[in-house]
Amino acid sequence: MKEAPLVTRFAPSPNGRLHLGHAYSAIVAHDLARAAGGEFLLRIEDIDGPRSRNEHADEFRRDLEWLGLEWLEVPAQSTRLAQYRAAADTLRERGLLYPCSLTRREIAALPSRIGEDGVQYPGSARGMSDDCDMSDPNGGAALRLDIDRAMEWVGDIVWSDRVHGNAIADPRMFGDVVLVRKDLPAVYHLAVTLDDARDGVTLVTRGRDLLEATHIHRVLQELLELPVPQWHHHDLILDENGEKLAKSKGSAALAERREAGEDGHLLAEQLRLRAPRSWNLSRAVPFNQA
Write the CATH number for 119: 3.40.50.620
pLDDT, residue 109, reads 52
Residues 95, 171, single domain; the answer is: yes
Given a contact cutoff of 8 angstroms between Cβ atoms, the answer to whether 17 and 59 are in contact is: yes
Residues 181, 122, single domain; the answer is: yes
Gap between the Cα atoms of 66 and 84, Å rounded: 33
Residues 244, 146, single domain; the answer is: no
pLDDT, residue 52, reads 76
Residues 175, 108, single domain; the answer is: yes
Domain boundary among 189, 207, 229: 189
pLDDT tens for 128-161 read: 444 344 444 334 689 999 999 999 999 999 999 9
| Coil, helix or strand at residue 174 | helix
Question: What is the reported pTM?
Answer: 0.83
**Helices 213-223 and 147-154, axial angle in degrees (round to 10):** 60
Q: Is residue 216 part of a domain?
A: yes
Low-confidence ranges of the chain (pLDDT < 50): 114, 119, 124-125, 127-139, 275, 277-290
pLDDT, residue 273, reads 86
Given a contact cutoff of 8 angstroms between Cβ atoms, the answer to whether 115 and 174 are in contact is: yes
pLDDT, residue 240, reads 73
Q: Is residue 2 part of a domain?
A: no
pLDDT, residue 184, reads 84
Given a contact cutoff of 8 angstroms between Cβ atoms, the answer to whether 122 and 175 are in contact is: yes
pLDDT, residue 285, reads 35
pLDDT, residue 48, reads 81
Phi/psi at 160 (nearest 5 deg)?
A: -120, 130
pLDDT, residue 119, reads 46
Kindly list the distances between the CA atom of residue 280 and the CA atoms of 28, 206, 257, in Å, as whole numbers in the listed order.
Answer: 18, 20, 17
Q: Is residue 290 part of a domain?
A: no
State how many domains the chain has.
Answer: 2
Strands 39-42 and 7-10 come out as parallel
Residue numbers of the domain that contains 179: 81-189
Domain boundary among 143, 164, 189: 189
